[in-house]
Amino acid sequence: MLYGAINLVASLFATLKGQLAAFDDGWRWGLWSIGALNVLCGVALSIRMRDPGRGASEQQLAGLDRQTREAHAQVTMKQVTALLRIPSPVILLVSRLLSGHLLAAAFGVIFLVDVYGFSTQVASAILFPMGIGFFTGTLLGGFLTGWTVRRNLRNGPVAILQTAQFAFAVIAYFGTQIDWGGIGLFAVFFALMGLTQGVNPVVNRPMIMAVTLPELRGAAFAIYLSVFEAVAIAAFSPGAGFLGDAFGLRSVFLWVLVGLMTVNGAFLTLLYRTYAADVARVQQALESRRQAALAG
């Protein structure tokens, strides 16, 4: 719900912001609006957000007091280095660098303007359907992942994550490489791309949590989102611009949204060998902590 709702609101805001292209100073209004919205979100978080402490959601630790749960909360460089020795997080980190779908939302409007000749205002209309698709994907992905975990704890989440990458590649081919004429069918395919992309956060985030101890999850997410995802976006955005000038955005979208995402899906096959063992290791460590706390 969190990731889906954020993306849904952002896509609606982006669609409305795209209409400001009709005005000379529209970009200024858009940036001021984004800044004001971020300030309001910051105030709301400072007032309403409450941290229950590390380990509060773990079944083995939920009954313990906060001080006992956070006895291992001190994060050291040694622990972070140990994090990078766990196979599954490393595979997920590399997969993030192969996540070509990050380019779809960032360059989708520019792509439709440059390749198929739509105006900025008309091309922006695909963003809200894409947000609706993303929101639907998070809900569908959450229920589907829960069902697969109950059916196949070892490989269920891996299969969902891998399938989402392959599905995105197929949909992206039809949604970007064929001229459908009007904006309507493009909006449908971008909505479907949003749906398959929306499955990712409700699968890969819980997977990272499942293979790391509570005190290391902050560091794991910092590396995953603030470093690797930022690097991926920083590489795809200017890279797409330079390559688009040289070869055309249509070719770039084929290579990145179709080709690279197919490679990403194939790469995730490695998780079938590591994920279940890493989850078992974390569960065993948490149970050991519970037993030690109760014995003390």
Q: How far apart are CA 288 and CA 272, in angstroms?
A: 26
Q: Taking residues 193-221, what's their average pLDDT? A: 88
CA angle 90, 91, 96 (to 5 degrees): 95
Q: C-alpha angle 200/93/74, rounded to 5°? A: 105
Q: How far apart are CA 177 and CA 145, in angstroms?
A: 31
For the chain, give the mean pLDDT.
85
pLDDT at 16: 81
Between residues 160 and 228, the one the model is more confident about? 160
pLDDT of residue 133: 92
Answer for the pair 111, 249: CB distance below 8 angstroms, yes or no: yes
pTM, two decimals, is 0.82
**Residues above pLDDT 70, as percent of the chain:** 91
Task: Look at residue 72 and tell me whether its pLDDT is greater than 60.
Answer: no
- Write down all domains in the chain, each with its CATH number in brackets: 2-295 (1.20.1250.20)
Write out pLDDT tens, residues 22-67: 788 888 888 888 899 889 989 999 998 887 776 667 666 666 666 6
Instruction: Check residues 193 and 29 and name the one with the higher pLDDT.
Output: 193
* Whole-number pLDDT of residue 24: 81
Looking at residue 156, its pLDDT comes to 87
Q: Which residue has the higher pLDDT, 144 or 71?
A: 144
- What is the Cα–Cα distance from 113 to 93, expressed in whole angstroms? 33
Residue 79, both tokens: 């622990």
